[in-house]
Protein backbone atom coordinates (compact mmCIF):
# COMPACT_ATOMS: atom_id res chain seq x y z
CA UNK A 1 0.00 0.00 0.00
CA UNK A 2 1.18 3.51 -0.85
CA UNK A 3 1.04 6.14 1.90
CA UNK A 4 -0.08 9.45 0.49
CA UNK A 5 0.36 12.81 2.29
CA UNK A 6 -2.53 14.47 4.07
CA UNK A 7 -2.88 18.23 3.65
CA UNK A 8 -4.84 20.50 6.01
CA UNK A 9 -5.31 24.26 5.56
CA UNK A 10 -5.99 26.16 8.78
CA UNK A 11 -5.93 29.59 10.41
CA UNK A 12 -7.14 29.95 13.99
CA UNK A 13 -9.46 27.13 15.10
CA UNK A 14 -6.99 25.49 17.48
CA UNK A 15 -9.41 23.12 19.25
CA UNK A 16 -10.87 21.89 15.95
CA UNK A 17 -7.45 21.32 14.37
CA UNK A 18 -6.12 19.49 17.43
CA UNK A 19 -9.12 17.13 17.48
CA UNK A 20 -8.65 16.52 13.75
CA UNK A 21 -4.95 15.67 14.03
CA UNK A 22 -5.39 13.64 17.21
CA UNK A 23 -7.91 11.45 15.38
CA UNK A 24 -5.61 11.02 12.37
CA UNK A 25 -2.76 10.02 14.67
CA UNK A 26 -4.93 7.08 15.84
CA UNK A 27 -4.77 5.60 12.33
CA UNK A 28 -2.21 2.80 12.01
CA UNK A 29 -1.00 4.36 8.75
CA UNK A 30 -0.20 7.75 10.34
CA UNK A 31 3.36 6.70 11.19
CA UNK A 32 4.05 6.26 7.47
CA UNK A 33 2.24 9.47 6.41
CA UNK A 34 3.53 13.00 5.82
CA UNK A 35 1.24 15.55 7.49
CA UNK A 36 1.27 18.91 5.69
CA UNK A 37 -0.35 21.89 7.43
CA UNK A 38 -0.94 25.21 5.69
CA UNK A 39 -1.06 27.93 8.34
CA UNK A 40 -2.50 31.14 6.91
CA UNK A 41 -1.75 34.54 8.48
CA UNK A 42 -4.53 36.25 10.49
CA UNK A 43 -6.54 38.80 8.44
CA UNK A 44 -7.66 40.59 11.64
CA UNK A 45 -6.76 40.85 15.33
CA UNK A 46 -9.63 38.57 16.41
CA UNK A 47 -7.87 35.59 14.80
CA UNK A 48 -4.47 36.12 16.41
CA UNK A 49 -5.00 34.17 19.64
CA UNK A 50 -6.10 30.98 17.89
CA UNK A 51 -3.37 31.40 15.28
CA UNK A 52 -0.69 31.62 17.99
CA UNK A 53 -2.02 28.48 19.69
CA UNK A 54 -1.87 26.58 16.41
CA UNK A 55 1.61 27.87 15.65
CA UNK A 56 2.85 26.55 19.01
CA UNK A 57 0.85 23.33 18.76
CA UNK A 58 2.36 22.34 15.42
CA UNK A 59 5.78 22.04 17.08
CA UNK A 60 4.41 19.38 19.46
CA UNK A 61 2.63 17.06 16.98
CA UNK A 62 3.81 13.46 16.99
CA UNK A 63 2.78 10.18 15.40
CA UNK A 64 3.45 10.94 11.72
CA UNK A 65 6.35 10.04 9.44
CA UNK A 66 7.00 13.72 8.73
CA UNK A 67 5.35 17.00 9.68
CA UNK A 68 5.58 19.93 7.28
CA UNK A 69 4.13 23.36 8.00
CA UNK A 70 3.78 25.95 5.21
CA UNK A 71 3.37 29.28 6.99
CA UNK A 72 2.21 32.50 5.38
CA UNK A 73 3.53 35.94 6.29
CA UNK A 74 0.33 37.61 5.06
CA UNK A 75 -3.24 36.45 4.70
CA UNK A 76 -3.93 34.61 1.43
CA UNK A 77 -7.37 33.14 2.15
CA UNK A 78 -8.65 29.58 2.39
CA UNK A 79 -8.73 28.85 -1.35
CA UNK A 80 -5.16 29.90 -2.09
CA UNK A 81 -3.95 28.23 1.09
CA UNK A 82 -5.44 24.93 -0.11
CA UNK A 83 -4.03 25.39 -3.62
CA UNK A 84 -0.51 25.87 -2.29
CA UNK A 85 -0.81 22.69 -0.23
CA UNK A 86 -2.05 20.74 -3.26
CA UNK A 87 0.87 22.05 -5.31
CA UNK A 88 3.35 21.02 -2.61
CA UNK A 89 1.88 17.51 -2.34
CA UNK A 90 1.68 16.88 -6.09
CA UNK A 91 5.28 17.96 -6.61
CA UNK A 92 6.30 14.94 -4.51
CA UNK A 93 3.47 12.41 -4.78
CA UNK A 94 1.04 10.96 -7.36
CA UNK A 95 -1.94 11.69 -5.10
CA UNK A 96 -2.84 13.45 -1.87
CA UNK A 97 -5.40 13.30 0.94
CA UNK A 98 -7.22 16.54 1.73
CA UNK A 99 -8.99 17.49 4.95
CA UNK A 100 -10.57 20.61 6.33
CA UNK A 101 -9.42 21.45 9.84
CA UNK A 102 -12.70 20.59 11.56
CA UNK A 103 -12.99 16.92 10.60
CA UNK A 104 -12.72 14.05 13.09
CA UNK A 105 -11.69 10.67 11.67
CA UNK A 106 -12.20 6.97 12.25
CA UNK A 107 -9.04 4.92 12.95
CA UNK A 108 -9.69 3.26 9.56
CA UNK A 109 -9.84 6.46 7.52
CA UNK A 110 -6.27 6.54 6.20
CA UNK A 111 -6.32 2.85 5.29
CA UNK A 112 -9.55 3.30 3.31
CA UNK A 113 -8.30 6.36 1.41
CA UNK A 114 -4.86 4.91 0.64
CA UNK A 115 -6.29 1.57 -0.52
CA UNK A 116 -8.92 3.36 -2.60
CA UNK A 117 -6.29 5.58 -4.22
CA UNK A 118 -4.22 2.51 -5.11
CA UNK A 119 -7.14 0.43 -6.40
CA UNK A 120 -8.76 3.09 -8.60
CA UNK A 121 -5.65 4.92 -9.76
CA UNK A 122 -5.97 3.65 -13.34
CA UNK A 123 -9.78 3.68 -13.41
CA UNK A 124 -10.73 6.88 -15.22
CA UNK A 125 -14.38 6.50 -14.23
CA UNK A 126 -13.52 7.25 -10.57
CA UNK A 127 -12.77 10.90 -9.79
CA UNK A 128 -12.00 10.70 -6.07
CA UNK A 129 -12.11 8.67 -2.85
CA UNK A 130 -14.14 10.28 -0.06
CA UNK A 131 -14.02 9.15 3.56
CA UNK A 132 -17.14 11.07 4.51
CA UNK A 133 -20.46 9.40 3.67
CA UNK A 134 -23.85 11.08 3.80
CA UNK A 135 -26.18 10.11 6.69
CA UNK A 136 -28.72 8.24 4.55
CA UNK A 137 -29.63 4.62 3.92
CA UNK A 138 -27.63 3.68 0.82
CA UNK A 139 -29.84 0.58 0.51
CA UNK A 140 -26.93 -1.79 0.08
CA UNK A 141 -25.09 -4.35 2.18
CA UNK A 142 -21.81 -3.62 0.41
CA UNK A 143 -18.99 -1.89 2.29
CA UNK A 144 -18.76 0.93 -0.26
CA UNK A 145 -20.72 2.78 -2.91
CA UNK A 146 -19.73 4.38 -6.17
CA UNK A 147 -22.00 7.37 -6.79
CA UNK A 148 -22.01 10.30 -9.23
CA UNK A 149 -24.14 12.82 -7.37
CA UNK A 150 -22.01 14.67 -4.87
CA UNK A 151 -18.37 15.01 -3.92
CA UNK A 152 -17.40 15.66 -0.29
CA UNK A 153 -14.24 17.55 0.69
CA UNK A 154 -14.54 16.35 4.31
CA UNK A 155 -11.59 13.99 4.00
CA UNK A 156 -10.88 12.89 0.44
CA UNK A 157 -8.15 11.48 -1.79
CA UNK A 158 -7.37 12.85 -5.27
CA UNK A 159 -4.90 11.82 -7.98
CA UNK A 160 -2.44 14.11 -9.76
CA UNK A 161 -3.42 13.07 -13.32
CA UNK A 162 -7.17 13.35 -12.70
CA UNK A 163 -6.80 16.66 -10.88
CA UNK A 164 -4.82 18.12 -13.79
CA UNK A 165 -7.49 17.01 -16.22
CA UNK A 166 -10.19 18.52 -14.01
CA UNK A 167 -8.35 21.84 -13.62
CA UNK A 168 -7.84 22.09 -17.38
CA UNK A 169 -11.59 21.59 -17.90
CA UNK A 170 -12.84 24.03 -15.28
CA UNK A 171 -12.37 27.45 -16.85
CA UNK A 172 -14.43 30.40 -18.11
CA UNK A 173 -15.90 28.37 -20.98
CA UNK A 174 -16.88 25.35 -18.90
CA UNK A 175 -20.50 26.33 -18.35
CA UNK A 176 -20.99 27.54 -21.91
CA UNK A 177 -19.67 24.28 -23.35
CA UNK A 178 -21.82 22.15 -21.11
CA UNK A 179 -24.92 24.31 -21.36
CA UNK A 180 -24.92 23.66 -25.11
CA UNK A 181 -24.72 19.90 -24.65
CA UNK A 182 -27.64 17.84 -25.88
CA UNK A 183 -29.77 16.57 -23.01
CA UNK A 184 -28.13 18.79 -20.38
CA UNK A 185 -31.46 19.81 -18.78
CA UNK A 186 -32.58 16.18 -18.50
CA UNK A 187 -29.28 15.26 -16.86
CA UNK A 188 -29.41 18.15 -14.40
CA UNK A 189 -33.05 17.43 -13.55
CA UNK A 190 -31.87 14.13 -12.04
CA UNK A 191 -30.01 16.15 -9.42
CA UNK A 192 -31.98 19.33 -8.53
CA UNK A 193 -29.36 20.73 -6.14
CA UNK A 194 -26.67 20.41 -8.79
CA UNK A 195 -29.06 22.04 -11.28
CA UNK A 196 -29.60 24.99 -8.92
CA UNK A 197 -25.88 25.43 -8.42
CA UNK A 198 -25.04 24.97 -12.09
CA UNK A 199 -27.52 27.66 -13.17
CA UNK A 200 -26.31 30.06 -10.50
CA UNK A 201 -22.65 29.80 -11.43
CA UNK A 202 -23.36 29.76 -15.17
CA UNK A 203 -25.52 32.88 -14.90
CA UNK A 204 -22.93 34.84 -12.94
CA UNK A 205 -19.89 33.42 -14.78
CA UNK A 206 -18.18 32.15 -11.65
CA UNK A 207 -16.19 29.00 -10.97
CA UNK A 208 -17.55 27.41 -7.77
CA UNK A 209 -15.52 26.25 -4.80
CA UNK A 210 -13.70 22.96 -4.22
CA UNK A 211 -16.52 20.51 -3.57
CA UNK A 212 -19.27 22.14 -5.66
CA UNK A 213 -17.18 22.35 -8.81
CA UNK A 214 -16.20 18.71 -8.47
CA UNK A 215 -19.80 17.65 -7.94
CA UNK A 216 -20.76 19.37 -11.22
CA UNK A 217 -17.85 17.78 -13.02
CA UNK A 218 -18.62 14.30 -11.72
CA UNK A 219 -22.31 14.52 -12.62
CA UNK A 220 -21.80 16.06 -16.06
CA UNK A 221 -19.12 13.55 -17.02
CA UNK A 222 -20.82 10.51 -15.49
CA UNK A 223 -17.87 9.85 -13.20
CA UNK A 224 -18.00 8.26 -9.77
CA UNK A 225 -16.85 8.93 -6.24
CA UNK A 226 -15.93 6.04 -3.94
CA UNK A 227 -17.51 6.36 -0.48
CA UNK A 228 -17.85 3.99 2.47
CA UNK A 229 -21.43 2.95 3.22
CA UNK A 230 -20.92 4.18 6.79
CA UNK A 231 -18.95 7.38 7.24
CA UNK A 232 -15.34 7.41 8.41
CA UNK A 233 -15.52 11.15 9.08
CA UNK A 234 -17.52 13.46 11.35
CA UNK A 235 -17.66 17.14 10.42
CA UNK A 236 -17.20 19.12 13.64
CA UNK A 237 -17.81 22.45 11.92
CA UNK A 238 -21.55 21.91 11.58
CA UNK A 239 -21.96 23.81 14.85
CA UNK A 240 -21.84 27.13 12.99
CA UNK A 241 -18.08 27.64 13.31
CA UNK A 242 -17.51 26.30 9.80
CA UNK A 243 -17.51 28.74 6.89
CA UNK A 244 -20.12 26.89 4.84
CA UNK A 245 -21.94 24.61 7.30
CA UNK A 246 -25.38 25.75 8.38
CA UNK A 247 -28.13 24.07 10.35
CA UNK A 248 -31.35 24.02 8.34
CA UNK A 249 -31.85 20.43 7.29
CA UNK A 250 -33.84 17.62 8.87
CA UNK A 251 -30.67 15.53 8.47
CA UNK A 252 -27.63 16.06 10.71
CA UNK A 253 -24.86 16.27 8.12
CA UNK A 254 -22.17 16.30 10.79
CA UNK A 255 -22.83 12.53 10.85
CA UNK A 256 -21.84 11.57 14.39
CA UNK A 257 -22.41 7.86 13.72
CA UNK A 258 -18.85 7.21 12.55
CA UNK A 259 -17.40 3.76 11.83
CA UNK A 260 -14.96 3.20 14.69
CA UNK A 261 -14.92 -0.59 14.76
CA UNK A 262 -13.89 -2.16 11.46
CA UNK A 263 -11.91 -1.55 8.30
CA UNK A 264 -13.64 -1.10 4.94
CA UNK A 265 -13.15 -3.41 1.96
CA UNK A 266 -12.70 -1.07 -1.01
CA UNK A 267 -13.47 -3.96 -3.40
CA UNK A 268 -16.90 -4.61 -1.88
CA UNK A 269 -18.75 -1.97 -3.91
CA UNK A 270 -22.14 -1.21 -5.45
CA UNK A 271 -22.86 1.57 -7.98
CA UNK A 272 -25.76 3.67 -6.68
CA UNK A 273 -27.78 6.77 -7.58
CA UNK A 274 -29.69 7.68 -4.42
CA UNK A 275 -32.98 9.60 -4.50
CA UNK A 276 -32.79 9.77 -0.72
CA UNK A 277 -29.48 11.64 -1.00
CA UNK A 278 -31.03 14.06 -3.50
CA UNK A 279 -33.91 14.75 -1.12
CA UNK A 280 -31.51 15.30 1.79
CA UNK A 281 -29.24 17.73 -0.08
CA UNK A 282 -32.23 19.56 -1.52
CA UNK A 283 -33.42 20.49 1.99
CA UNK A 284 -30.34 22.72 2.31
CA UNK A 285 -31.62 24.97 -0.49
CA UNK A 286 -34.15 27.82 -0.04
CA UNK A 287 -37.64 26.94 -1.23
CA UNK A 288 -37.42 29.49 -4.02
CA UNK A 289 -34.06 28.20 -5.32
CA UNK A 290 -35.48 25.78 -7.89
CA UNK A 291 -37.88 28.43 -9.26
CA UNK A 292 -34.98 30.86 -9.68
CA UNK A 293 -32.83 28.20 -11.33
CA UNK A 294 -35.54 27.46 -13.89
CA UNK A 295 -35.94 31.20 -14.54
CA UNK A 296 -32.21 31.51 -15.19
CA UNK A 297 -32.34 28.49 -17.50
CA UNK A 298 -35.20 30.09 -19.45
CA UNK A 299 -33.35 33.42 -19.78
CA UNK A 300 -30.15 31.73 -20.93
CA UNK A 301 -32.07 29.68 -23.49
CA UNK A 302 -33.85 32.82 -24.69
CA UNK A 303 -30.92 35.21 -24.94
CA UNK A 304 -27.86 32.93 -24.90
CA UNK A 305 -25.28 32.70 -22.13
CA UNK A 306 -22.85 35.20 -23.69
CA UNK A 307 -25.62 37.75 -24.28
CA UNK A 308 -26.81 37.39 -20.70
CA UNK A 309 -23.29 38.17 -19.53
CA UNK A 310 -23.05 41.19 -21.86
CA UNK A 311 -26.36 42.52 -20.53
CA UNK A 312 -25.25 42.07 -16.94
CA UNK A 313 -21.91 43.78 -17.70
CA UNK A 314 -23.74 46.69 -19.36
CA UNK A 315 -26.11 47.11 -16.42
CA UNK A 316 -23.23 47.11 -13.93
CA UNK A 317 -21.46 49.85 -15.90
CA UNK A 318 -24.64 51.97 -15.89
CA UNK A 319 -24.82 51.96 -12.10
* Contact residues for 141 (Cβ-Cβ < 8 A; gap 6+): none
Instruction: Please write the tens of the pLDDT for every residue from 162-213.
Output: 999 999 988 778 888 888 888 888 988 899 999 999 998 888 878 887 788 8
Phi-psi region of 139 (alpha: psi -120 to 50; beta: other; left: phi over 0): left
Domain 6-170+207-285 has CATH 1.10.3720.10: no
Bridge partners of residue 9, in order along the sequence? 38
Please check the confidence at residue 319 and state whether its pLDDT lies above 80.
Answer: no
Identify the pLDDT of residue 306. Answer: 84
Average pLDDT over residues 206-223: 88
Q: Where do the domains of the chain lie?
A: 6-170+207-285
What is the model's pTM? Answer: 0.92
Amino acid sequence: MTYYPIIIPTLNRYEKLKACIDSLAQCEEAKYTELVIGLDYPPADKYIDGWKKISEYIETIKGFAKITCIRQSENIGAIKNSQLLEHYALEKYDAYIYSEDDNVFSPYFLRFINEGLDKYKEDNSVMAVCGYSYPIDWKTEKDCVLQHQYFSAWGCGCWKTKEKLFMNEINDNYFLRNFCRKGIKTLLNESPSNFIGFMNYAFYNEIPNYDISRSFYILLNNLNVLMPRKTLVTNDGWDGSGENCIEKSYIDFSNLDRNETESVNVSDVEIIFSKELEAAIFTLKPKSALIKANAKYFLIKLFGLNNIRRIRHFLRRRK
